[in-house]
Amino acid sequence: MILNNKNGLQFFTFSKLSIFDDIRHAIFTRYNGFSAGDYQSLNTGLGVGDRKDSVKKNRTAIARCMGTQQLIFSNQVHETGILVFKKSDADRPSKSNTLPLSADAMITNIPGKFLAIQLADCQGILLYDPQNKVVANVHSGWRGSIRNILGACLTTMQSEFGCHPENIYAGISPSLGPCCSEFIHYQQEIPEKYWCYKNTLDYFDFWKISRQQLLSAGLSSQHIEISNICTKCNSHLFFSFRKKNQTGRFVCVIGLK
């Protein structure tokens, strides 16, 4: 991954996605925002107890850094709902809604519409099809992983936009690593088919699970990049719920220029 600084904000980018000039993407650290205390300082989560005005300033700073006025958030609920934003729907009247729609993945082919996923140990998985000019952003915690929201998102990219998996590139954000992903009650929580991804101490490797789901969906192994950064081990850089329950949310973003 590549560490960047812009407009006073610090963020990482994937080397495999950075070769494409028609997209922007970023995984922002928790530095240089407006929040204080447990949420210091670039918290983007509205429902975690932080001041709303601070969160709004943080989101505005991120949007400015990404060069967009359309930074799209969803209400993430650890399910498999997917929001699709298509050029063909852009001119249709939309229902006004003060709350974001519930979904844990978003897909678009609309330039200037940047998709934002909030994280605090879960994976943010950025997807890009350079042939069809389609981007997606997936929120995948352990519940999303065992339901294979990643596979569902890739299937939707195929059905809605005609994407071919072999053309798609993927980046897996900093998240809870196999060093810290302990599941004491895994026999009740995680299906047996995923037990091969744990070690003898009941720590699971969800990075490998996501990689295998991408491969099973048809992506090339050469198109997949994993950050290999554990959020709990690096809570000075990223918010981590496992490290401290009362905490903020960092954000990963992708969009077409």
**pLDDT value for 90:** 64
**pLDDT value for 95:** 45
Distance CA 122, CA 142 (A): 7
List pLDDT tens digits, range 53-87.
999 999 999 999 999 999 999 999 999 999 999 99
Give the strand order in the sheet containing 70-73.
2-6, 9-13, 23-28, 250-256, 113-119, 70-73
pTM over 0.85? The answer is yes
| Sequence letter at residue 231 | T
In Å, how far from its chain's centre is CA 60? 18
Q: Which residues of the chain have pLDDT under 70?
A: 90-99
**pLDDT value for 123:** 98
Task: Give Cα separations from 201 to 53, 76, 184 (angstroms).
Answer: 43, 30, 9
According to DSSP, the residues that pair with 182 across neighbouring strands are 203
According to DSSP, the residues that pair with 251 across neighbouring strands are 118
All structural domains of the chain = 2-256 (3.60.140.10)
Q: Is 162 left (phi over 0), alpha (psi -120 to 50) or beta?
A: left
**Burial of 10 per CB tally in 10 Å (0-12, 13-18, 19+):** middle
- Decide: 72 and 115 in contact? Cβ < 8 Å: yes
| 218: CB partners within 8 A, 6+ apart | 154, 164, 165, 166
**pLDDT value for 37:** 97
Distance CA 31, CA 162 (A): 38
Please provide the DSSP assignment of 207-229 as one string.
Answer: HHHHHHHHHHHT--GGGEEE---
Residue 7 CB coordination number (10 Å): 11
**Among residues 5, 2, 23, 22, which one has the least CA distance to residue 13?**
2
